[in-house]
Structure 1
């Protein structure tokens, strides 16, 4: 194995991921979505693809559809965070509905109830409690939902406390007040479709060596989303 391949293998083994796709909420108080489960599944596959990110499949946890309930997401995150080895990083992806109630931002898991968000959805406070004191060198959260920019505005304090040489990133598909749009056939949003292509190496971000800096990722996503928007006007269903 070349030194470059060995470094890439070591890098992949130090990455852990939780990938969540919630198509709807309890009692259907928001419209059901078509693509979150599909988006989550394709992101998880891209992360573990040997030709892409090559994260060992046992280090990628997928919770999609009915399985994407609050307690399961929290349990998965807590388990991974508690067991992270030194120098490891956490990647978290969420696709579904998002909601800012003026006090906190919520990722609406499949069991989210309108009048009991604090107990049934994943809040910024929940994430702060889970991640506080984490040994993770890197934490990278990606949210593909409506009003996703509010998740960044209300990001837990842990995202503002950087370890030496580490990183904390929260990337949202939308600005506050904006909707994310999914294809009418349920096969993804502009944003997540572009993200998957980048993770799989189908869209090159950066210098092509495999190392992707955040600025390169954002530039590649912006370009791919703009191209997809122009080519596929059939993305019509709003993801709130």
Structure 2
């Protein structure tokens, strides 16, 4: 079954090189990074908080990439997404190397060895990993992934999906004058507009098959993919083509069609995940805030709904959330699952706020951790 990652427990590191001293310039890569970061943080994709998405653009050296990547790998407990766009090179051992601004052909030490990135995945706390490579010869990474028994064993437990823009012997396409590279441009279009007739969630296998058909029809290099365990079932967003085209009217009644796929409360492990999924409930229902308020029989106003789905803390009481879910048409059994998720988050918050033995100042709050994490992210950005 496809699953959307909890945005609060997930991290993304987007790496790209658009300016080169010795190789052809790739100005579209800069646009790739900005657009993909915006999508991952927005309602069309994973709704990840902006601090959870790190951009490393035109890294000055390998540590500029590896440091924020290690930080993200240490923080992510749900999903870790790693993206690279730029020139890909082949080293003397036929392995993939990722080019940086100062990379020189024939001097492999000036590039970022893909295997270094791969090692970060081995030590990650994340349950699932997504690797997106938009570069020449990125298909080499598929072979490198399967070459190590250690990584195969790890992926069988954790779940890994690697999507590469081109096969081992094909170069990726960056059409001159286009806003984005061919592969990333097609990926962005898929997340923005969805796949007509596709499933409610755009899992990686569905996205891969759609990109392959789309790019081959345009006579562009066909992407390659490698899946380990449950990696293919991780979704990058809801299928925008599957959502209601217009708000549901009052005449439609409170019950929603049986095929509607509601956000799964059992996949929620953070407050951010709880709140962002509450917002997604209304979008899936097809109702406006005014209609949700009307169906609640006056229990919640439109202003209350707006505050509920735009807050950054857990709702203090359950009554309003229950009324909102019911008015949106969520089945009673799923509302009980939401209640259980809310109770679990409350217990976790209480435990976090309890003083810890030997810790000056009575322990560390979740908010304090978030502030330090945000500070570390900004220090690690490679702008």
Q: Same fold (TM over 0.5)?
A: yes
Distance 1:189 1:68, change over 3 A: farther
Q: 2:13 aligns with which of 6, 9, 18?
A: 18
Partner of 1:31: 24
Q: CA deviation at 1:223?
A: 2.6
Partner of 1:112: 103
| Residue-by-residue CA offset, 1:80-128 (whole Å, 9 max, x unaligned) | 112233xx1110111100011242211112232445423x322133124
Q: RMSD across aligned C-alpha pairs, in angstroms?
A: 2.5
Distance 1:92 1:213, change over 3 A: same
Partner of 1:236: none
Q: What are the ranges of 5 or more consecutive residues in structure 1 without an aligned counterpart? A: 1-6, 231-240
Distance 1:68 1:209, change over 3 A: farther
Distance 1:45 1:124, change over 3 A: same
Report 1:62-211 matches (<5 A). Answer: 62-64=55-57, 66-67=58-59, 69-85=61-77, 88-103=78-93, 104-118=95-109, 120-155=110-145, 157=148, 159-162=151-154, 166-200=158-192, 202-204=193-195, 207-210=198-201
Deviates more, 1:158-167 or 1:124-133: 158-167
Measured in 2, the distance between the counterparts of 1:181 and 1:113 equals 21
Kindly indicate whether structure 1 or structure 2 has the higher relative contact order, using CA contacts under 8 Å at least 6 residues apart: 1
| Residue-by-residue CA offset, 1:55-98 (whole Å, 9 max, x unaligned) | 1111000122x34642211111011112233xx11101111000
1:13·1:55 contact (CA, 8 Å) conserved in 2?
Answer: yes
Distance 1:163 1:126, change over 3 A: closer
Q: Which structure shows the higher helix fraction?
A: 2
Q: What are the ranges of 5 or more consecutive residues in structure 2 without an aligned counterpart? A: 221-383
Query: TM (normalized to structure 2)?
Result: 0.51
Please say if 1:59 is aligned against 2:52.
yes
Q: CA deviation at 1:150?
A: 1.1
Q: CA deviation at 1:227?
A: 4.6
